[in-house]
Structure 1
Amino acid sequence: MDILEDLYYGNLFPHEKCAKLDDEVKELLKLLNRNEEKFVATLTEVQKETFEKYKDCNREISEISEREIFLNGFRLGARIIIDVVNN
């Protein structure tokens, strides 16, 4: 693992940090949860298991994408700094 991944995963900061969610995101999360509860209530047990697997895969894809975006942002920032210093 490189230093940026350590930074991303919080390995460089032993204390826990919580992100503040703005009101718009909080409302969207409430809506998402409410709609998911209604949807899951209509499913059979087999369908619920399939939906849980779907959510797990989606969560994993999101985590990978977020990590790559984080790393790319730091790399771009480093290239910008190098360019500024060299000019």
Structure 2
Amino acid sequence: MDILEDLYYGNLLPQEKCAKFDDEMKELIGLLNRNEEKLTATLSAEQKETFEKYKDCNREISEICERNAFLNGFRLGARIIIEVVITKKADR
């Protein structure tokens, strides 16, 4: 099976590589969670609801940015391959 077939059949999951966290990332996530717990402990029910909506919007923005970065990187890689192939043919 070639790489395009693997991608089509779901055998390649590039997003999984993004999910592997190094120690620095784990530390930052822990800090983020601790600070969120401290903050939400001080909020009223209405403020907590507003904060949840804020986090949902922020999550959506992050997902859009990650998707766009993936697409742009994939397109750049394809353009590089095309240029390499064209240059190689021109050198012959």
TM-score of the aligned structures, taking structure 1 as reference length:
0.81
Whose RCO is larger (CA < 8 A, sep 6+)? 1
TM-score of the aligned structures, taking structure 2 as reference length:
0.76
Aligned-pair Cα RMSD in Å: 2.2
Alpha-carbon distance in structure 1 between the residues aligned to 2:44 and 2:22: 35
Which one has the bigger helix percentage? 2
Q: How many residues are paired up?
A: 78
Unaligned runs of 5+ in 1: 1-6
Per the alignment, residue 4 of structure 1 pairs with none
Please identify runs of 4+ aligned residues in structure 1 that moved more than 6 A.
none
Do the aligned partners of residues 79 and 56 (structure 1) sit closer, same or farther apart at CA in structure 2, a change above 3 Å counting?
same
Question: C-alpha displacement at 1:12, in angstroms?
Answer: 2.3
Alpha-carbon distance in structure 1 between the residues aligned to 2:78 and 2:72: 10
For 1:6-45, what aligned pairs fall within 5 Å after superposition?
12-13=10-11, 17=16, 19-45=19-45
For 1:39-78, what aligned pairs fall within 5 Å after superposition?
39-78=39-78
Unaligned runs of 5+ in 2: 1-6, 88-92
